[in-house]
Chain A
Amino acid sequence: MKQSSLPIRLLKGFAMFWWDFLVGDTPEIFVAVLVIMGVVALVSVSGHAHSAGAAVLTVLAVLALGASVWRAKRAVKK
């Protein structure tokens, strides 16, 4: 099998590092943070709820952490 060139291998390694770093074995956290950012952006764009954005952001982050912990707990039980 033909080996990839050095730039391709470096690029693949770089992409793999960030994939492991951000997604790894907790894809639910990655997805949750994207969803949180989207929801808070919508709340902020609506223009009347900048303070509400702070509460929404914090509550959603706490719930996302809880959901990830709950998922791990279920996986252990199985």
Chain B
Amino acid sequence: MLGVTVSSGVFVLVGAVFLACAVEMVEALTIVFAVGHTRGWRSATEGTVVALVALAALVAAFGPTLVSVPLNVLRLVVGGVLLIFGMQWLRKAILRSSGLKAKHDEDEIYKETVAELSAMSTSTDRDRIAFVMAFKGVFLEGLEVVITVLTLGTSAHRLGLAVVTAGVAIVVVGIVGIIVAQQLSSVPENAMKMAVGILLVSYGTFWTGEGLKVHWPGGDTMLLGLVGIYVVITFLYVTWLRSSNPLRISEVSA
């Protein structure tokens, strides 16, 4: 029983952290590639490294603080944040799947960033614009990774596992990204976002309940039940939107 309980929680935690980090890494990598190819790799790399150091400092500063917060309070706050965050992701993924919202196009973002950077004047040795663009891209996407890792990891009392999973996701996407450079659009980003949304909403629902002393039938195993419920609901919402929406945004505009 304990084995089942632990493994279901770990399974959802690892899945949510890995997919969320992979999606954010794809977005950050697109910006860094665009900056590197257009303005040179030196400043792009420097901006990326400084952003990663700043993010590591944030984790070091807030990680231990979060661990010392009473578990019920932490789970209620984190549950609420994850419920909001997860619903936002899931809503977007449902709208994209049903054609009501244009899909996230990494190729288009890459081209737009390259065009924007090419139009700016180039300076000499150190390129401030390239540094700032790479820093902002990595820091902002990374901040979402940090929030996901800290909230999921501390609430499940498995911060170490969450950090390792995030690290693996970042390395895997980084290696794949370098190999297939400029083909990040082939990553099924919407499907991944939908999976992350479902996992975050499931965790958010579960921990909001835990924080409010709700009794979940089956204990922690109910987390998998919630995942199943949200998978079915997502499918139903997409089907409803597709059947009742003859006008598809993705068909009329990019």
Contacts and interface: CB of A to CB of B under 8 A. Distances in A.
Contacts of A30: 84
B100 A72 contact: yes
A54 B245 CA distance: 33
Most buried by A among B100, B214, B215, B241: B214
B137 interface: no
B212 A53 contact: yes
Contacts of A29: 84, 87-88, 91
Interface residues of B, number: 38
A21 B85 contact: yes
Contacts of B230: 62
A26 B88 CA distance: 7
A64 B205 CA distance: 12
Contact of A53 (B91, B100, B214): B214
Contacts of B80: 33-34, 37
A66 B237 contact: yes
B233 A62 contact: yes
Contact of B100 (A17, A21, A54, A73): A73
Size category of the A interface is 20 to 34
Contact of B87 (A41, A58, A65): A65
Contacts of B244: 73
B49 interface: no
Contacts of B90: 65
A65 B186 CA distance: 28
Interface string A41-78: 10010000011011001100110111011001100110
Contacts of A51: 214-215, 217
Interface of B: 76, 80-81, 83-85, 87-88, 90-91, 94-95, 100-101, 143, 147, 201, 204-205, 208-209, 212-217, 222, 226, 229-230, 233, 237, 241, 244-245, 247, 249
Given A37-B212, A50-B214, 9 more contacts: A40-B209, A44-B212, A53-B212, A57-B212, A61-B201, A65-B87, A72-B95, A73-B244, A76-B245
A-B complex: 6 closest residue pairs judged by Cβ atoms = A53-B214, A50-B215, A29-B87, A54-B214, A51-B215, A33-B83
Interface of A: 17, 21-22, 24, 26, 29-30, 32-34, 36-37, 40-41, 44, 50-51, 53-54, 57-58, 61-62, 64-66, 68-69, 72-73, 76-77
